[in-house]
C-alpha cells in the first residue's frame, strides 16, 4: 500500500512521528491494509475524511458528530454553516465532509426520473429520497404515467414554506392533459421529518382524486416523505371523495 493511503489514516495528524500517533492508529492502518475502507468504523472513516486543518483533533470532531446525529443520513442533511460553527469543523473540514457524502450519493447512481414502471409505492422511493434530500421547504411533485404505469415525466408543482405548500388541482392536471397521461402520482415532503399525513394532506388528496375522476386521469397515490419513512396515503387510508 502506498504512503499516501497510509497518511489518510492518521486522522488529521499530518506527518506525525511514531511517538505522536494517536492510540489505535496502527490497528486502523493494519485493518485498512487488509480489508480496505470497509474494515473501518464510521468514526474512523469520518476522521480520515476530516483530516488536518481544524481547531480540534479529527477524532474528537468525529466523535461529536456521531454523538449528536442519529445516523449518517441526518448528518449529511445538516446545513454547512451549522457544521462549521457548531462542531469545530471550520470551512475546510465541512467542505471535505459534505463533498464525501455527495460522492457517496453519486456513486450509487442517480435514480431514474422517467421510463421505469411503478408497481408499488416502494418503486418511487429512491426517486423521492433524492428529490427531497436536504430540503427545508415543502416541495410538491407530480409523476405522470402512461397506460402501462411507466413514468413519462416528473414535475415540480410547487415549492412552499417551512411547513406548507399551496397546490391547486389545475397545476397538477394541466401537464397530465397536455401529455395525455393515463395516471398521476403526487408526492411531497414534510420538513419537520414526520411523514404522518396531515388533515390538509388528506383534504388535498380527496380534491385531486375528485378532479382526476372528472378528467379520466387516475390519481394512483399521494406519498408523504419524512426523514425516516415515506408513507403512502393509498395504504394509510384513502379519503372519501365528497360529491
- CA–CA separation, 163 vs 67, rounded Å? 28
Residue 236 pLDDT grade (very low, low, confident, very high; cuts 50, 70, 90)? very high
Q: Order of strands across the sheet with 218-225? A: 151-159, 139-145, 183-189, 218-225, 230-232
- CA–CA separation, 13 vs 48, rounded Å? 10
Q: Which residues of 131-161 are buried (b: 16+ CB within 10 A; e: fewer)?
A: bbeeeeebbbbbbbbeeebebbbbeebbebe
Enclosing H/E stretch for 6: helix 3-8
Fold assignment, 121-237: Cytidine Deaminase; domain 2 (3.40.140)
Roughly what angle, to the nearest 10 degrees, separates helices 42-50 and 58-68? 130
Nearest to 186 by CA among 222, 239, 229: 222
Segment 197-204 mean pLDDT: 94
* Residue 3: Cβ-neighbour burial (10 angstroms; 0-12, 13-18, 19+): exposed
> Can you give the residue ranges of every domain in the chain?
3-107, 121-237
Angle at 152 between CA 148 and CA 158, to 5 degrees: 125
SS3 66: helix
- CA–CA separation, 72 vs 57, rounded Å? 20
The pLDDT tens digits of the residues spanning 21-38 come to: 555 567 778 878 888 888
Residue 6 pLDDT grade (very low, low, confident, very high; cuts 50, 70, 90)? very low
Q: Are strands 151-159 and 183-189 parallel, antiparallel or unpaired?
A: unpaired
C-beta of residue 128 within 8 angstroms of C-beta of residue 223:
yes
The pLDDT tens digits of the residues spanning 60-110 come to: 899 999 999 877 877 887 778 888 888 878 889 989 998 998 788 777 665
Amino acid at each position: 500500500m502506498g504512503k499516501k493511503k497510509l497518511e489518510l489514516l492518521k486522522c488529521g495528524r499530518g506527518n506525525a512521528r511514531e511517538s505522536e500517533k494517536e492510540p489505535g492508529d496502527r490497528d486502523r492502518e493494519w485493518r485498512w491494509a487488509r480489508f480496505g475502507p470497509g474494515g473501518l468504523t464510521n468514526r474512523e472513516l469520518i476522521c480520515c475524511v476530516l483530516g488536518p486543518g481544524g481547531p480540534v483533533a479529527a477524532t474528537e470532531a468525529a466523535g461529536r458528530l456521531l454523538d449528536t446525529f442519529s445516523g449518517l443520513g441526518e448528518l449529511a442533511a445538516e446545513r454547512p454553516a451549522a457544521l462549521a460553527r457548531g462542531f469545530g469543523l471550520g470551512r475546510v473540514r465541512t467542505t471535505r465532509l459534505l463533498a464525501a457524502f455527495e460522492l457517496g450519493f453519486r456513486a450509487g447512481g442517480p435514480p431514474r426520473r422517467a421510463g421505469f414502471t411503478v408497481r408499488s409505492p416502494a418503486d418511487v422511493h429512491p426517486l423521492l429520497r433524492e428529490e427531497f434530500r436536504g430540503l427545508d421547504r415543502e416541495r410538491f411533485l407530480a409523476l405522470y404515467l402512461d397506460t402501462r404505469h411507466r413514468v413519462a415525466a416528473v414535475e415540480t408543482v410547487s415549492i412552499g414554506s417551512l411547513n406548507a405548500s399551496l397546490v391547486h388541482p389545475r397545476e397538477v392536471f394541466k401537464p397530465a392533459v397536455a401529455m395525455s397521461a393515463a395516471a398521476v402520482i403526487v408526492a411531497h415532503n414534510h420538513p419537520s421529518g414526520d411523514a404522518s399525513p396531515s388533515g390538509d394532506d388528506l383534504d388535498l388528496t380527496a380534491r385531486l382524486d375528485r378532479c382526476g375522476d372528472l378528467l379520466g386521469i387516475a390519481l394512483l397515490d399521494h406519498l408523504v416523505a419524512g426523514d425516516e419513512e415515506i408513507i403512502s396515503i393509498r395504504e394509510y387510508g384513502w379519503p372519501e371523495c365528497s360529491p
